[in-house]
Amino acid sequence: MPAIALEPHQLRLTIAPESLGFASTAELQDLPLPWIGQERAQAATQFGLSMDQPDYHLFVLGEVGSGRTSLLRQATQAAAAQRAVPPDLCYLHNFDAPERPRALRLPAGQGRQLRVAMLEMAKMLQTDIPKRLASPDCKAEAETIQKAWQKEEAIAFATLDAFAEARHFRLSREGGQMVFTLTGDKGHPLTENEALALPRERRAEIDAAEQALRTEIARFLDAMRPLERARDEALANLRRQTIKPLIEHAVQDIRQGLKKQIKDAAKLGQWLDQVEREVLNRLALFEAGNADDEDAEDERKHHLAELLARCQVNLAVDNSERNGAPVVVEENPQMRGLFGAIDIQTDTDPPHADFSCIRAGSLLKAHGGFILLHLRDLVEDEGLWPRLRRFLRSSRLQIDEGSAAAAHGPTAPVALQPEAVDVDVKIVLIGSVEEYYALQEADPDTARRFRVKVDFAERFAASPATRHATAIFVAHSCKKRGLPHFAPSAVARLLEQTHREADDQCRQSALFANTDALVIESAALCRARGGTLVEAPDVDAALLAHTLRHNYPEEQLHESITEGERLITLHGTVAGQINAMTQVDLGDYRFGFPMRITARTFAGHEGLLNIEREVDMSGPIHDKGVLILHSYLTALFSHVAPLALNASIVFEQEYSGVEGDSASCAELYALLSSLSGLPLRQGIAVTGALNQHGEVLPVGGINEKIEGWFHACAAAGLDGTQGVLIPARNLRHLMLSRAIVDAVERGLFHVYTVGHVSEGIALLTGEASGMGPGALPDLAADVEGTVLSRAEQTLRAFRRACQSAGQTRRGSGRRNGAARQAG
């Protein structure tokens, strides 16, 4: 079957604007936006979000721009709205072990309520405790206790004083200490000289009396200590009994205020009891001391502030204003932000950290809901991924000081170990296809925690429903950004572009980020011209502007053809030479470019030489294509085996390497041309891979390749003989530019398709191929005039030449051997 020249309407899909069924996208802006072409991903997402079981986290895989993040955010927010509001999380001072703060979960809103109540209670205690202690009743009771003690102490002191007086000592108390002075017979104190002037016997009596007095004073003090303790205990009990009702009432109000059922009620009750006990045990801190002693007063205030701070609540997670479960999108995951942290207070010496320094991370904030993370962000931060793995195993999280404590070295405070808490969160991990399977291989234990695979398609089958949904997407984008709406012709042009990005007339690209960008740029050009409705020319102008921003490398390469630096023949015929088409992918821009391939054949036994492979400038897929070509060529001429052939193939002026098998057909045609001596049409560029049976296989980047060749031909001038030869199986992938369609319609350019290499060689040489099905000669063809017969004649000539050369060498060898023997 000969090569088929395609009609203009086959070169691209054209969507009729009237088929879309609206006059402007403004009519669609209030319609709900579906998951366009992502039914599989949507079903997986709904399943995963509804599974309330451990290890059913979601791994979302897809290309950037497929809407994977925005759609999962939308889905998780919808699911979170149906869930109950999770509890608040508080951290409390542990009076028994301050280095181990307690964690407390309270119903949503009660964490804030408890914090406010404890703050108000602290203010109340600072004002009411001193008032209660200074009340007349309390003072009267304290005076009674004090007078009772003073009475007993006065009786005991009077006895001691009489004992001292009987031994000629005068007893007094100065600054809390006992002072006694020796007196004379008339009761006046003796001076030191007078005491020394006394007789020795008298001085000995005085020494014995002094010793007895000291012993009696010691007995007095021993007797007073229990009385003082009893007095102090009585006064303390009085103060506690005076203040206890005040504190109990305040604490009871707090308990009553937290009416909802509390899971950690026992823990909260125990902590409030400890607060009550601590305050009652340190009532002295609430009473002002001597105003003249500023240091003592400052120290009292400092200790009072510390006591009241320990009675406060660190509300780490506050869900009081939520209407459903949380959805946390962690755009910049770090150790502190994800797992929480302890802020060490460096303004003190030494640095200080307590329960109030604990800060919750995203995982704690997402308790009861969802958190969205990108896998690449996690693995790029050393230590982040291993810790997340440990969290996934236990679903418990303990905040630690980490690097913050290490930074302070030996001056770091005692390490806090906050109580670990259970975290019920569903993780949505977003990554690429490559990252997903790399995780499966490298870390299967963690991978099994993500049992729900949400696979976003890169493209999907087009239908009236998907086109209508795409129009809704455009309407929502315009409404969201305040852009002018799109006319049906503009939407039709956008839809055609999605088919171009998918390289398929039957499928649309799922990378709606590109569509969204095109919407924004087209609307900007519409506004620039003063329009109120975006039309198709605005979209075309936006596409052209985008191309001009990215195609500088393409223009440079085409200039090299125009200026004669790169050798490309666009007219006539040449044997052993053909123009192939290649694609250059710069990441943000793809374009096609022609490449000359030449082949040389001559007699020999080395077979096919791939020059690119010999110099390590070809990739494995290209090498595979050359080996398949060699296999087909060998089978094609198997009836004249063994082949006496040396052949070389080279991509002319290619210095950056070759990869892919899409030039296999062109390489075969160049070889057959060289063998047969039949020249190839230089105005027709070729692309296509082949298998071992000569069938032409589809290739990628077909539109860019054709447009690259058309660009080169148009620059030199179209003469009606130029065109391209492509695989018939690429027909559905054609979405060529309108310039090419117009050129084909006017007969200035041609697009041919072939299903077998025999059809291509016939078109390029103008002669019958002589090839049959598979790799067999066509026995029905005119043997003398086919490409195959001419090549076969050349191969037979090569074999005869090799045989002749071999006989010559053998004959020469025998003569030389005889000469040596004679010698």
Cα–Cα nearest to 621, from 590, 658, 580: 658
Q: How many domains are there within the chain?
A: 4
Residue count of the chain, please give it: 823
Classify residue 1: in a domain, yes or no.
no
Q: For residues 283 and 331, state if they share a domain.
A: no
Classify residue 4: in a domain, yes or no.
no
pLDDT computed for residue 812 by the predictor: 53
pLDDT computed for residue 776 by the predictor: 53
CB-CB contact of 644 with 802 (8 Å): yes
- pLDDT, tens digit (0-9, with 9 covering 90-100), for 361-389: 999 999 999 999 999 999 888 889 999 99
CB-CB contact of 498 with 515 (8 Å): yes
Q: Is 705 a catalytic residue?
A: yes
Q: For residues 194 and 252, state if they share a domain.
A: yes
Q: For residues 425 and 494, state if they share a domain.
A: no
Q: For residues 602 and 737, state if they share a domain.
A: yes
pLDDT computed for residue 151 by the predictor: 83
What is the Cβ-side half-sphere exposure of residue 116, based on CA atoms within 13 angstroms? 9
Rounded CA gap, 437 and 450, in Å? 12
Residue 665, C-beta contacts closer than 8 angstroms, at least 6 positions apart: 686, 687, 688, 689, 690, 696, 725, 757, 760
Q: Which of 618, 676, 705, 789 is catalytic?
A: 705
Among candidate residues 288, 315, 342, the one where a domain is terminated: 315
Can you point out the beta strands (E) in 645-787? 646-651, 680-681, 684-686, 689-690, 696-697, 723-727, 750-754
Rounded CA gap, 821 and 813, in Å? 12
**Residues of the chain scoring pLDDT < 50:** 403-412, 775, 779-781, 815-823
- pLDDT, tens digit (0-9, with 9 covering 90-100), for 171-191: 777 766 777 777 776 667 777
pLDDT computed for residue 821 by the predictor: 39
Classify residue 822: in a domain, yes or no.
no
Helices (H), 258-293: 265-281
Cα–Cα nearest to 92, from 79, 75, 110, 105: 105
Q: For residues 392 and 449, state if they share a domain.
A: yes
Instruction: Report the run of H or E that residue 578 belongs to, with start and end.
Output: strand 577-585
Q: Could you check whether the bond before residue 350 is cis, i.e. omega within 30 degrees of 0?
A: yes
Q: Is 631 a catalytic residue?
A: no
Q: For residues 326 and 253, state if they share a domain.
A: no
646-651 and 607-610: which strand pairing?
A: parallel
Q: For residues 619 and 631, state if they share a domain.
A: yes
> What CATH number is associated with residue 388?
3.40.50.300
Classify residue 820: in a domain, yes or no.
no
pLDDT computed for residue 773 by the predictor: 62
Judge residue 639's burial from the number of C-beta atoms within 10 Å of its C-beta, 0-12 exposed, 13-18 middle, 19 or more buried. Answer: exposed
Q: Which of 509, 662, 673, 758 is catalytic?
A: 662
Cα of first residue to Cα of last residue in the chain, in angstroms, is: 68
DSSP 802-818: HHHHHHHHHHHHHHHHH
Residue range(s) defining the domain that contains residue 756:
566-798
Q: For residues 73 and 97, state if they share a domain.
A: no
Q: For residues 733 and 680, state if they share a domain.
A: yes
Q: For residues 259 and 182, state if they share a domain.
A: yes
Classify residue 805: in a domain, yes or no.
no
Rounded CA gap, 596 and 580, in Å? 6
pTM, full prediction:
0.81
Classify residue 560: in a domain, yes or no.
no
Q: For residues 108 and 229, state if they share a domain.
A: yes
pLDDT computed for residue 474 by the predictor: 96
Classify residue 293: in a domain, yes or no.
yes
Q: For residues 404 and 483, state if they share a domain.
A: no
pLDDT computed for residue 187 by the predictor: 65
Rounded CA gap, 815 and 809, in Å? 10
Classify residue 559: in a domain, yes or no.
no
